[in-house]
Structure 1
Amino acid sequence: MSWLLDPLRADFVLRALLGGALVAVICGIVGTWVVIRGMAFLGEAIGHGMLPGVALATVVGAPVLVGAAVSAAIMSGAIGLLQRRGRLSYDTSIGLLFVGMLSLGVIIVSHSRSFATDATAMLFGDVLAVDDGDIVVLAGALVVTIAVAVSFHRAFVATAFDRRIARTLGLRPQAAHVALVGLVTLAVVASYQAVGSLLVVGLLLAPAVAARPWTTRIAATMALASAVGVLAVATGLVVSWNAGTAAGASIACAAILFAGLSGVLRGALDSVRRRPHGTQLGGTDRLPAVEPAGTTHQRAVAPSAVSR
């Protein structure tokens, strides 16, 4: 058991575990909605859209997390502005800004000569460098995430089903969409130090994907996704300690493996239970299958789920 207990004797590993666990809960809550609404591309775009802010903050000596937050907020606002004022579709706006912000970040990095090691941390994170101040910030981000998710829950559900119904019920679908984009931005920024801009989508999506086959309610999916995320953080840190691998990449890889294992186990269990009865396990109350962004995600949640 020394391979499991030895990492926990190091203070910096314990801080990384606590910080990573906070990030995992944030991503479990937000990632559930990202999967339901098919917003994975938005999460990836915001993740890479942080690069210019991170690079500039590093150059001027400002807090990196502040630069990431400002850059991600600009990215989110620009996407909404292009969609409302321009004639571009949502995914086209995201694609253009994604490439533009990523290119700007690379230009800043290539122009500076001080990124010999910082570029790796930007892309893959440095969860082992989490300190007490970072933990306080992450705890605050978690509180904000829970507050927004609870306040807009009915609006999120109704908007996912049909914007017209949400509008009829007085749930302000446009405000709900802005709030959801804000949550995605917050989750991506919070995950930055743990897994970096390149792997952030893995921690945002994989735990929610792993949880969905086993739950029928959104709140249960969030709780199980958070648990899977925490387990991925712990597994990644243990593997990193014993195998000498990058901690952020190990965490993201563990999350992806858990998602794959969950799908295999669910499929095997359904096959076994289907044979004697000739019917498929589950019912109409199960959360819907993943649909690409821009498709018929309005059918994602039944109207009765609005009150859940």
Structure 2
Amino acid sequence: MEWLTGPFEVAFVQRALWGGVLVSAICALAGTWVVLRGMAFLGDAMSHGLLPGVAIAALLGGNLLVGAVVSAAVMTAGVTVLGRGPRLSQDTRIGLLFVGMLSLGVIVVSRSQSFAVDLTGILFGDVLAVREQDLFLLGVALLVALAVSLLGHRAFLALTFDPRKAATLGLRPRLAHAALLGLLALAIVASFHIVGTLLVLGLLIAPPAAALPWARGVRGVMALAAAIGMTATFLGLLLSWHLSTAAGATVSALAVGLFFLSHLASGIRGRRRARRSAHGRAPGTPAAGVASLSGPGPRPGAAATGRPRDH
């Protein structure tokens, strides 16, 4: 029992655990929409796009969070503006913005000869350095994320599953998309100090993707994703303490590992259900839902598209 509880008797590990719990909740709210809308590349681009702002803030001795917020605002505005152009695909525009921001960050870093330690923290995070004021800011960020998620839930839902209907219902899909980008930026800014700009997708994407086969609706995905993220945080901190590994990377790796375990279990469940269905058919009757025999099949309460319903 000492092996399990001992690390969390230390004050800075306790703060790291609380920081990871808050970040997991924030990422669950934003990451669910990212997964459902297939915006993983956008999330990756925005997380890497934080580098120039954070690097400039570190170079000038300023607040890294302020630098991250400025970079996130630039990325959000850039994606919104470039998204209106009809000639290039969205991935092309996002990719060019991503490379431009990342290149600018590397140029800023190259101007300093003593940036190695700071850069490591920026790229990979330093969850064990979470302070009490960081926890306060994360708490505020979670409240903001909850408010945006509650107020925009109907518009986000319509935008995700039927953008044309969103416009027909007067839900202002462009404004909803901008608000969703803001929610994504908030989650990334809140997370980069925990797992860094390179590993932020581990908490943003993996828990919602792991929750997707088991949840009945969007809110269910969010709740289960938060629980999975918190589990990855606890286990990651525990293992990093005993194995002397990088805490942020361990948390991110466990989140991805839980995703693979979830989908492996979902596949096994689907095959068992398919076999039970096949054995339970009357002789000579055709299989109901032949497609289900070749894969895990739709989740309970899921639409034909594989996305969960919500009411």
Aligned structure 1 segments of 4 or more residues deviating by more than 4 angstroms: 279-284, 287-290
Aligned residue number for residue 254 of structure 1: 254
Higher radius of gyration, 1 or 2 = 2
Does residue 286 (structure 1) correspond to residue 302 (structure 2)? The answer is: yes
> For the residues of structure 1 that align with 2:274 and 2:250, how far apart are their CA atoms?
36
Structure 2 length normalisation: TM-score? 0.91
Q: 1:273 to 1:163 in 2, by over 3 A?
A: closer
Equivalences for residues 74-85 of structure 1 within 5 A:
74-85=74-85
Q: Deviations over 1:21-79 (max 9, x none)?
A: 00000111111100000000111001110000011000111110110111111011011
Total equivalences in the alignment:
295
Gapped runs of 5+ residues in structure 2?
279-287
Q: How many angstroms does 1:81 deviate by?
A: 1.1
Aligned residue number for residue 141 of structure 2: 141
> For the residues of structure 1 that align with 2:220 and 2:133, how far apart are their CA atoms?
31
Equivalences for residues 1-308 of structure 1 within 5 A:
1-85=1-85, 87-278=87-278, 280=292, 282=298, 285-286=301-302, 305=310, 308=311
Whether contact under 8 Å (2:212, 2:308) holds in the other structure is no
> For the residues of structure 1 that align with 2:300 and 2:10, how far apart are their CA atoms?
48
Whether contact under 8 Å (2:124, 2:195) holds in the other structure is yes
Whether contact under 8 Å (1:215, 1:287) holds in the other structure is no
Gapped runs of 5+ residues in structure 1?
291-299
Is the partner of 2:213 in helix, strand or coil?
helix
> For the residues of structure 2 that align with 1:144 and 1:113, how far apart are their CA atoms?
38
> For the residues of structure 2 that align with 1:181 and 1:135, how far apart are their CA atoms?
23
> For the residues of structure 1 that align with 2:256 and 2:300, how far apart are their CA atoms?
27
> For the residues of structure 2 that align with 1:114 and 1:56, how far apart are their CA atoms?
13
Q: How many angstroms does 1:273 deviate by?
A: 2.3
Q: Which has the higher contact order (CA 8 A, sep 6+)?
A: 1
Q: How many angstroms does 1:168 deviate by?
A: 1.2
Whether contact under 8 Å (1:35, 1:208) holds in the other structure is yes
Q: How many angstroms does 1:283 deviate by?
A: 5.8
Whether contact under 8 Å (2:237, 2:250) holds in the other structure is yes
Whether contact under 8 Å (2:216, 2:300) holds in the other structure is no
Aligned residue number for residue 297 of structure 1: none
> For the residues of structure 2 that align with 1:104 and 1:193, how far apart are their CA atoms?
20
Q: Deviations over 1:234-281 (max 9, x none)?
A: 111001100000000000000000000001111112212221212656
Is the partner of 1:214 in helix, strand or coil?
coil
Amino acid at match of 1:179: A
Aligned CA RMSD, in angstroms, stands at 1.7
Structure 1 length normalisation: TM-score? 0.92
